[in-house]
Amino acid sequence: MAIVVEHDKRKQEILQKSLDVFIEEGYEDATFQKIADRCGITRTTLYIYFKNKHEIFLGSIKELLAELEIALKQIMTDSSLSAEDSLRKVLGTLADAIESNKKLFSVLLNYLMQLKKSGVDTSERVRRRVIRLRHLLSTILIKGIQNKEFKELNVKDINDTLYGLLESAIFRIAVLNKDDVADVRAALNTTVDLFKA
């Protein structure tokens, strides 16, 4: 049993350290050797844990999203928060994550563009990665409507609006090279104000 735990721990360490390599080098220039060097292991050892660079990259992204999901679930389970407060905290946490991962989103954008050029349906890939987030937003919105905190509006439309603003924040950070998303934060708060009861 200790061997399995040690294997999983090493795999987690590799994913965390490899994310830095992808951020510093970009997806194209990150190599198995650079990742192995960063982790203090040989390429042969790295192959024990992962088949290729693609698998490491996706694992790193999943690891980051899992950490973010834990933070969002903590907000969701805080019974002292109203639906409005939960929604504002969730949106603020997401905006913080977007700001603090500027380089990662640039790498991710380049990766998605490469996939698109090769004929991969990138919208489906992204949709699968964010489905939990969209569900979480819908849960808060439904709770707010049931508690009469929010107007009786179409939950899908509100969710699409909020999600679109978050996508805008990612675009501003990754493509327009903005240093912060203060304007998107303001837009998110204004949008929440608009559907308050």
Q: Is the pLDDT of residue 4 over 80?
A: no
How large is the average pLDDT for residues 117-139? 85
What pLDDT does 89 receive? 95
Tell me what the mean pLDDT of segment 138-155 comes to.
94
| Residue 178 to residue 165: CA distance in whole angstroms | 15
Q: Is the Cβ–Cβ distance between 31 and 14 less than 8 Å?
A: no
Neighbours of 162 (CB within 10 A): 25
- Band the pLDDT of 140: cuts 50, 70, 90: very high
Q: Right CATH number for 78-196 from 1.10.1240.10, 3.40.50.2300, 1.10.357.10, 3.10.20.600?
A: 1.10.357.10
How far apart are the C-alpha atoms of 109 and 120, rounded to whole Å? 14
pTM of the predicted model over 0.85: no
CATH number for the region 1-60 comes to: 1.10.10.60
Q: What is the pLDDT at residue 189?
A: 93
pLDDT at 124: 81
1-60 against 78-196: fold identical: no
The pairs formed by 84-88 with CB atoms below 8 angstroms and a separation of 24 or more are 84/144, 84/149, 84/150, 84/192, 84/196, 86/140, 86/143, 87/137, 87/140, 87/141, 87/144, 87/192, 88/189, 88/192
- Reported as a pLDDT band with limits 50, 70 and 90, residue 2 is low
Asked whether the predicted pLDDT for residue 1 surpasses 80, the reply is: no
Nearest-5° Cα angle at 185, 180 to 188: 150
pLDDT at 121 over 90: no
pLDDT of residue 142: 94
Q: What is the mean pLDDT of the chain?
A: 87
In the chain, where the domains are located? 1-60, 78-196
pLDDT-based confidence at residue 144 (cuts at 50, 70, 90): very high
Q: What is the pLDDT of residues 18-69, one digit of tens each?
A: 888 888 888 888 898 999 999 899 989 888 899 988 898 888 888 777 888 8
